[in-house]
Amino acid sequence: MELRQLRYFLAIADSGSFSKAAQRVFIAQSALSHQVAQLEDELGTPLFHRSRRGVELTEAGNRFFPHAVSILRQAEEAIASARSGTAEPRGKVVFGIPHSVSNALALPLLRAVRQQLPKVQLELTEELTGNLSKQLRTGQIHLAVLFDDGHLSEFAATPLLCEQMYLIEPSLEGKKRRASVPFKQVLTMPLILPASPHGVRPIIDNAAARAGLAPPVVEADISSISILRTTLLAGLGRTLLPLMPFHHEISTGLLSASKVNHTPPLERTLALCASGHIPGSAASQAVEAVTHTLVRELCQTGHWQGARLFTRDINPP
């Protein structure tokens, strides 16, 4: 297996056509087909379904795809590491952020990396936490913010912060805003929540079980923060989430947020995670350091509302 074969494979998968891929990688189509055939022979399985409309990945091709991405990325990082010497970090870092964290972290992190690490190219990707875990596991991304659900042992995970969860609902004219509401009462309200097991669902379900209460009444599963925001603004329900995904709507009075009375506090813990078996590049390690400093500043200045720093190690590298 050669690196160029992996590049050819990814080019075909991305373009959906041997002819378009050949143009992209500057090789004759016959030579491209020959290299892919050799790769398929070595793997012992077809990687593409071929038809007049183009090509699609087979089931084996879909399984092979993330590994090809990971191998090429590690090869590029190895070259960059060998050439960098003692120079400042450089290269590409792919950073995964959950939908409900993006509003608080994405723009500040992009600004901080551009200012402090000018030779690092930061690519931010926004996904569900389950997808981020898979991509981090296969090396498709370098770093990711994940929720500490007790299953981060496979990653090099260090804690960032804890976010308190609030009852968030439409601000209705003439309705007095409630400062707080008992957790037991919240569980009886029809809620719109991310689909299980993503995001806060395990936290809420586990807290209810420990308190000997029935699980929440869920009237709709919505894992997209943008769709959930639109639903709340339309007056179609309420949710139980941290403040920051709805910061603008709460600050302008379109939505209201009430504290949830529960002991211990109803919180979710965010951790910064890297692969537990793929060595991090100098660039990814530098971005990791910038992230920790930035999160500390955002918490201490109150820009990350409803959050507190968390210092106990989850799974130190």
pLDDT tens digits, one per residue of 187-239: 999 999 988 766 688 889 999 999 999 999 999 999 889 999 999 999 999 99
Q: Where along the chain do its domains lie?
A: 3-79, 88-162+269-309, 166-265
What letters, b where the CB count within 10 A reaches 16 and e where it falls short, cover 214-235?
Answer: eebebeeebbebeebbebbeee
pLDDT tens digits, one per residue of 237-252: 999 999 999 999 999 9
- CA atoms of 287 and 212, how far apart (whole Å): 43
pLDDT tens digits, one per residue of 265-301: 999 999 999 988 777 888 899 999 999 999 999 999 9
pLDDT for res 229? 94
State whether CATH 3.40.190.290 applies to domain 166-265: yes
pTM score of the predicted model: 0.77
CATH topology of domain 3-79: Arc Repressor Mutant, subunit A (1.10.10)
Is there a contact between 100 and 225 (Cβ–Cβ < 8 Å)?
A: yes
Regarding the domain with residue range 88-162+269-309, which homologous superfamily does it belong to in the CATH classification?
Periplasmic binding protein-like II (3.40.190.10)
pLDDT for res 316? 46
Average of per-residue pLDDT values in the chain: 89
Q: Taking the CA of residue 290 as centre, how many other CA atoms within 13 Å lie in the half-sphere pointing to its CB?
A: 25
Domains 3-79 and 166-265 share a fold: no
Is there a contact between 203 and 165 (Cβ–Cβ < 8 Å)?
A: yes
Per-residue tokens: 270: 């965010």
